[in-house]
């Protein structure tokens, strides 16, 4: 529950910062300096709300859509880091990095990372650690065999893991309803013997609450939870791909704005003043514009996209 | 010397582990689990059942449910979970009940295990062993009746092409013991191919005191010779030895090289045998096209061409599914086919 003022401002700062940075990165991809980006506009709420519920010792398996927001919300990954990483000038958020909260390396095939995440959770339990793994996957990945096997195994092992199904309704161009006959993806939870929850992807407080509950459930040894978060992305799957949705539908998607909703709720409850939130917005804008200027000055460094030089790379196929 | 395959029902019974190759596998896991409590064993029916072939027998009773874990029939699921466990510092030894089932888990091994160390710039290793009972042919001219095309394959070549996993194939109990110990201690993923026919057919007893580790990446001269080299893997080593024994009566002196490791490959021993004999036969049980034999012949042609006195010959299975029943004999390598190949390279 996001109740006290300090936590409210913390969440708002992460939301505002994520939105501002994501908008800047999306614009950079559209205007040329970046060659590609899977824009996460519209997904800020899920990354921030889940990230704010996690402890540093919890382990995250990130999504390509909301991974940056989650890493930023957990700490140790500034807006400057997020922007410089796109230019190969800082380590990205997809991978274990010293000094940052636990995260698993990203895997380029959707759904394939889930069994690995279950193994991490099983290890934490075998070692009597209280950590929980939080693993994201999308509606597209939901139909992968590895996802089924991971959820079933996690249920059978009562593994301390929370599955977050980031359902934006579209796998690139394919509507979720056209590739599964199930009315609700969350209904699959019952088949694995785990609780399932559906939350509105623009409702940061609801996502946070569902995550806190699932984390407590897992920490208590009760096993996994499947949380289906329903939201819409504002942009095409990736920069350069056409968006097959009608302009009206895209316009409607942009009307579902979790950052604006959280701000309105905070103001309605009186937890913070508009002036306080405006200050945060201004600070985030300044941080992002400074980072963008720095990134453009430095330019793209392809050599540093991978965190090792050419000679080192050739020695890395096998552990010594 | 036809050897018979013992059916799975008997293998799972009280008489196992009775043969020394499978006892060696069992002993390697037991000793490594004693030595290092991060070693865990996972797979189908590996706990109370002890594995359908008996390889994990007694481990559950000795080490308990936190070290020996029965898994659902979910090869992708438990292979991926084992990768995650390995990344967290455990050393999982997972069993594919039959190596053929690894197809279900291939994405996990190819996409994740083989690339993790590279992907993380050496920060995260995957010390995982995948044990794979494989193969159809026995060490003689027989075949595993009834196993058919879904339980008899030799899939090692796929893994040699991944560039990120090691591939090991012991032919003797001593190497099964020593190489499995090395595999468990290795920080890279190791695909460990155990020939099912050898589980029961080899009777050489192991020295109870000798638990020597056999290094990965070293071939073995199974029999020295001067006239021709047969380079073989797995159960084919024993067919090659039978050929060498037979030809000895005609004063033909055949060297048999047991490759033991495919990745990394002991090219030094490979080129040395070519230097000695100049005549090469390469044998594997997998189908010919795209098989590892092609890689061996290519390496020899590129780096030891001047030492060759005859064109190398590959003996492999026909390019077809492993037949069920007597047709297997016509498809798979045999003592007769290896003998004919040796005579051919000697004639050329």
User: Whole-angstrom Cα distance, residue B185 to residue B212?
Assistant: 13
Q: In the block, which residue shows the tokens 């080899």? A: B202
Amino acid A315: pLDDT: 84
Domain count of the fold of chain B = 2
Structure confidence by residue, pLDDT tens digits, B115-152: 999 998 899 999 999 999 999 855 444 455 557 889 99
Q: Check pLDDT > 70 for residue B4.
A: no
In this structure, what CATH number is given to the domain that contains residue B96?
3.40.50.970
- Nearest residue, CB atoms, B76 vs list A105, A123, A149: A149
Domain with B247 in it: 220-347
pLDDT band at B5 (very low <50, low <70, confident <90, very high): very low
B43 touches chain A (CB under 8 A): no
- Do B29 and B108 lie in one domain? The reply is yes
- Do B179 and B241 lie in one domain? The reply is no
Chain A residues lying within 8 Å of B119, measured CB to CB: 95, 105
Nearest residue of B to residue A150 by CA position?
B77
Amino acid B38: pLDDT: 98
Mean pLDDT confidence for B80-105: 98
User: Whole-angstrom Cα distance, residue B348 to residue B287?
Assistant: 25
A78 touches chain B (CB under 8 A): no
User: Whole-angstrom Cα distance, residue B229 to residue A261?
Assistant: 76
Structure confidence by residue, pLDDT tens digits, A113-155: 999 999 999 999 999 999 999 999 999 999 999 999 999 999 9
Amino acid B207: pLDDT: 63
Structure confidence by residue, pLDDT tens digits, A173-218: 999 999 999 989 999 999 999 999 999 999 999 999 999 999 999 9
Supply the Cα-derived Rg of chain A in whole angstroms: 19
Q: CB–CB of A75/A101 below 8 Å?
A: yes
pLDDT band at A2 (very low <50, low <70, confident <90, very high): confident
Amino acid B14: pLDDT: 35
Listed residue (B162, B157, B173, B154) closest to B286, CA to CA:
B154
- Nearest residue, CB atoms, B116 vs list A105, A124, A306: A105
Chain A residues lying within 8 Å of B86, measured CB to CB: 119
Give the phi and the psi of residue A133 in degrees, each rounded to 5: -95, 135
Structure confidence by residue, pLDDT tens digits, B288-335: 999 999 999 999 999 999 999 999 999 999 999 998 877 888 889 999
What would the two tokens of residue B85 be? 């466990």
Mean pLDDT confidence for A240-268: 95
User: Whole-angstrom Cα distance, residue B11 to residue A86?
Assistant: 56
pLDDT band at A316 (very low <50, low <70, confident <90, very high): confident
Amino acid B9: pLDDT: 34
Choose, out of B84, B92, B109, B164, the residue to mutate when testing the contact with A (most A CBs < 10 Å). Answer: B84
Q: In this structure, is residue B206 part of a structural domain?
A: no
- Do B309 and B184 lie in one domain? The reply is no
User: Whole-angstrom Cα distance, residue B106 to residue B253?
Assistant: 42
- Tally the residues of chain B: 348
- Do B244 and B192 lie in one domain? The reply is no
Choose, out of B77, B120, B191, the residue to mutate when testing the contact with A (most A CBs < 10 Å). Answer: B77
Q: Average pLDDT, whole number, for chain B?
A: 90
Q: Is B151 a catalytic residue?
A: yes
User: Whole-angstrom Cα distance, residue B68 to residue B93?
Assistant: 10
Q: In this structure, is residue B212 part of a structural domain?
A: no
Q: CB–CB of B100/B150 below 8 Å?
A: yes
Amino acid B19: pLDDT: 53
- Contact at CB, B127 and A319, closer than 8 angstroms: yes
User: Whole-angstrom Cα distance, residue B292 to residue B235?
Assistant: 15
CATH 3.40.47.10 describes domain A5-313 = no
In this structure, what CATH number is given to the domain that contains residue B232?
3.40.50.920
Helix (H) or strand (E) holding A224: none
- Contact at CB, A126 and B72, closer than 8 angstroms: no
Nearest residue of B to residue A108 by CA position?
B111
Q: Check pLDDT > 60 for residue A287.
A: yes
- Contact at CB, A319 and B90, closer than 8 angstroms: no
Q: Check pLDDT > 70 for residue B260.
A: yes
- Do B248 and B290 lie in one domain? The reply is yes
pLDDT band at B205 (very low <50, low <70, confident <90, very high): low
- Do B151 and B254 lie in one domain? The reply is no
Nearest residue of A to residue B71 by CA position?
A153
Mean pLDDT confidence for B249-273: 98
Number of inter-chain CB pairs under 8 A, A vs B: 127
- Does the CA dihedral A180-A181-A184-A189 come out positive or negative? negative
- Nearest residue, CB atoms, A308 vs list B85, B107, B121: B121
Report helix, strand or coil for B73: coil
User: Whole-angstrom Cα distance, residue B298 to residue B291?
Assistant: 12
What is the share, in percent, of chain B residues with pLDDT greater than 90? Answer: 80
Structure confidence by residue, pLDDT tens digits, B142-164: 455 557 889 999 999 999 999 99
Q: In this structure, is residue B209 part of a structural domain?
A: no
- Do B174 and B260 lie in one domain? The reply is no
b or e along B189-222 (b: 16 or more beta carbons within 10 Å of the residue's beta carbon)?
A: bbbbbbbbbbbbbbeeebeeeebebbebbbbbeb
Structure confidence by residue, pLDDT tens digits, A291-311: 999 999 999 886 555 556 777
Listed residue (B261, B204, B260) closest to B23, CA to CA:
B204
Q: In this structure, is residue B210 part of a structural domain?
A: no
- Contact at CB, B120 and A318, closer than 8 angstroms: no
Mean pLDDT confidence for B76-105: 98
- Do B109 and B15 lie in one domain? The reply is yes
- Does the CA dihedral A292-A298-A302-A303 come out positive or negative? negative
- Do B324 and B233 lie in one domain? The reply is yes
What is the share, in percent, of chain A residues with pLDDT greater than 70? Answer: 98
- Contact at CB, A153 and B72, closer than 8 angstroms: yes
Amino acid A293: pLDDT: 97
Q: Which residue has the higher pLDDT, B331 or A20?
A: A20
Q: Check pLDDT > 60 for residue B18.
A: no
Amino acid B107: pLDDT: 98
- Do B251 and B335 lie in one domain? The reply is yes
What is the share, in percent, of chain A residues with pLDDT greater than 90? Answer: 87
The Cα of B37 is separated from the nearest Cα of chain A by a number of Å equal to 11
Amino acid B15: pLDDT: 43
Amino acid A307: pLDDT: 55
B37 touches chain A (CB under 8 A): no
Chain A residues lying within 8 Å of B125, measured CB to CB: 319
Return the ∠ at Cα A216 (arms to A215 and A221), rounded to 5°.
Answer: 100
- Do B239 and B308 lie in one domain? The reply is yes
Q: In this structure, is residue B1 part of a structural domain?
A: no
A311 touches chain B (CB under 8 A): no
Nearest residue of B to residue A95 by CA position?
B120
Q: In this structure, is residue B119 part of a structural domain?
A: yes
Q: Which residue has the higher pLDDT, A265 or B329?
A: A265
Chain B residues lying within 8 Å of A313, measured CB to CB: 118
Q: Check pLDDT > 50 for residue B2.
A: no
- Contact at CB, A120 and B111, closer than 8 angstroms: no
Q: What is the DSSP letter of B213?
A: P
Q: CB–CB of B328/B318 below 8 Å?
A: no
Return the ∠ at Cα B137 (arms to B136 and B143), rounded to 5°.
Answer: 90
Long-range contacts of B295-301 (CB under 8 A, 24+ apart): B295/B160, B296/B231, B296/B270, B299/B265, B299/B267, B299/B270, B300/B270, B300/B271, B300/B274
pTM, entire model = 0.94
What would the two tokens of residue A86 be? 């796109």
Amino acid A206: pLDDT: 98
| Region label for B217, one of left (φ > 0), alpha (ψ between -120 and 50) or beta (otherwise) | left
Distance between first and last Cα of chain A = 47
Q: In this structure, is residue B273 part of a structural domain?
A: yes
* Of B151, B227, B238, B284, catalytic: B151
Distances (CA, A) of A278 to A273, A275, B243: 9, 5, 86
């Amino acid at each position: 529950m996001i109740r006290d003022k300090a936590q409210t401002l913390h969440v708002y700062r992460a939301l505002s910062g994520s939105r501002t940075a994501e908008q800047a990165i999306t614009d950079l991809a559209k205007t040329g300096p970046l060659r590609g980006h899977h824009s996460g506009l519209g997904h800020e709420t899920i990354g921030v709300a889940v990230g704010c519920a996690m402890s540093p010792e919890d382990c995250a398996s990130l999504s390509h859509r909301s991974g940056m927001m989650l890493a930023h919300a957990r700490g140790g990954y500034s807006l400057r880091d997020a922007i410089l990483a796109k230019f190969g000038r800082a380590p990205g958020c997809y991978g274990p990095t010293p000094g940052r909260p636990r995260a698993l390396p990203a895997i380029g095939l959707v759904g394939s990372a889930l069994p690995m995440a279950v193994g991490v959770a099983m290890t934490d339990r075998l070692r009597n650690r209280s950590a929980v793994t939080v693993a994201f996957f999308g509606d597209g990945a939901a139909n992968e065999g590895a996802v089924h096997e991971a959820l079933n195994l996690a249920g059978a092992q009562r593994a301390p893991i929370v599955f977050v199904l980031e359902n934006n309704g579209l796998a690139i161009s394919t509507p979720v309803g056209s590739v599964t006959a199930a009315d609700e993806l969350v209904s699959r939870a019952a088949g694995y013997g785990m609780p399932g929850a559906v939350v509105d992807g623009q409702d940061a407080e609801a996502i946070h609450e569902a995550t806190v509950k699932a984390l407590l459930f897992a920490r208590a040894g009760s096993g996994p939870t499947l949380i289906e978060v329903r939201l819409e992305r504002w942009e095409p799957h990736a920069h350069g791909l056409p968006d097959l949705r009608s302009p009206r539908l895209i316009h409607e998607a942009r009307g579902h704005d979790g950052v604006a909703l959280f701000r309105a709720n905070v103001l309605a409850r009186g937890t913070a003043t508009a002036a306080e939130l405006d200050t945060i917005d201004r600070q985030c804008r300044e941080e992002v514009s400074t980072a963008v200027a720095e990134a453009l000055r430095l330019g793209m460094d392809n050599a540093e996209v991978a965190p090792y030089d050419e000679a080192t790379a050739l020695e890395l196929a096998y552990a010594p | 010397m036809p050897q018979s395959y013992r059916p799975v029902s008997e293998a799972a019974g009280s008489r196992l582990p009775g043969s020394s190759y499978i006892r060696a596998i069992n002993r390697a896991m037991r000793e490594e689990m004693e030595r290092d409590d991060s070693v865990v064993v996972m797979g189908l029916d590996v706990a109370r059942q002890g594995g359908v072939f008996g390889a994990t027998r007694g481990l559950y009773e000795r080490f308990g449910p936190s070290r020996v874990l029965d898994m659902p029939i979910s090869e992708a699921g438990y292979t991926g979970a084992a990768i995650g466990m390995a990344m967290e510092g455990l050393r999982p030894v997972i069993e594919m009940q039959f190596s053929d089932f690894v197809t279900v888990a291939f994405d996990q091994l190819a996409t994740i295990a083989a690339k993790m160390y590279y992907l993380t710039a050496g920060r995260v290793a995957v010390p995982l062993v995948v044990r794979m009972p494989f193969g159809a042919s026995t060490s003689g001219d027989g075949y595993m009746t009834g196993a058919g095309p879904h339980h008899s394959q030799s899939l090692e070549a796929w893994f040699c092409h991944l560039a990120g996993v090691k591939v090991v194939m012991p032919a003797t109990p001593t190497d099964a013991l020593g190489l499995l110990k090395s595999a468990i201690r290795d920080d890279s993923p190791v695909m460990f191919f155990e020939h099912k026919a050898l589980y029961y057919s080899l009777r050489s007893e192991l020295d109870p005191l000798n638990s020597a580790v056999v290094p990965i990446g070293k071939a073995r001269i199974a029999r020295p010779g001067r006239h021709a080299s047969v380079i073989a893997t797995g159960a084919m080593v024993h067919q090659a030895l039978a050929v060498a024994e037979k030809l000895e009566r005609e004063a033909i002196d055949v060297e048999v090289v047991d490759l033991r490791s495919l990745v990394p490959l002991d090219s030094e021993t490979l080129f040395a045998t070519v230097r000695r004999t100049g005549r090469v036969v390469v044998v594997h049980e997998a189908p010919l096209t795209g098989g590892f034999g092609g890689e061996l012949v290519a390496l020899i042609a590129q780096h030891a061409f001047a030492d060759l006195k005859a064109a190398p010959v590959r003996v492999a299975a026909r390019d077809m599914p492993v037949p069920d029943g007597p047709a297997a004999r016509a498809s798979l390598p045999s003592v007769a086919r290896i003998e004919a190949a040796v005579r051919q390279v000697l004639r050329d």
